[in-house]
Amino acid sequence: MFEENGITLAQAKTALAAWMTADAALASGAQSTRISTGGTDRQLTRTDAAEIRKNIEFWDTKVRQLAGGNTIRIFGVIPPC
């Protein structure tokens, strides 16, 4: 499969799952949660909800790209006359 920047599909899926778990923890009423991805360990609070959503979108896109699904590649465009 296609590997961009050395990130494997398995790594991307693991990161996506971690961010989704963090989102679920905060959504269920927790005031904070800890997330560990890529060798880093972080404490997130409710105020980090926008960052959590941004990371879910990023990793979801990365998983889709690495899985080879739903991507459009444009190699050249011919403008209309």
Distances (CA, A) of 36 to 5, 21, 44: 20, 11, 11
Residue whose C-alpha is closest to residue 20's, from 74, 61, 56: 56
Output the pTM of the full model: 0.68
**Structural domains of the chain, ranges and CATH numbers in brackets:** 9-67 (3.30.1580)
Each of the 81 residues of the chain gets a pLDDT tens digit; together they read: 445 458 899 999 999 999 999 889 888 888 888 888 777 888 888 778 889 899 999 999 999 999 986 556 666 767 777
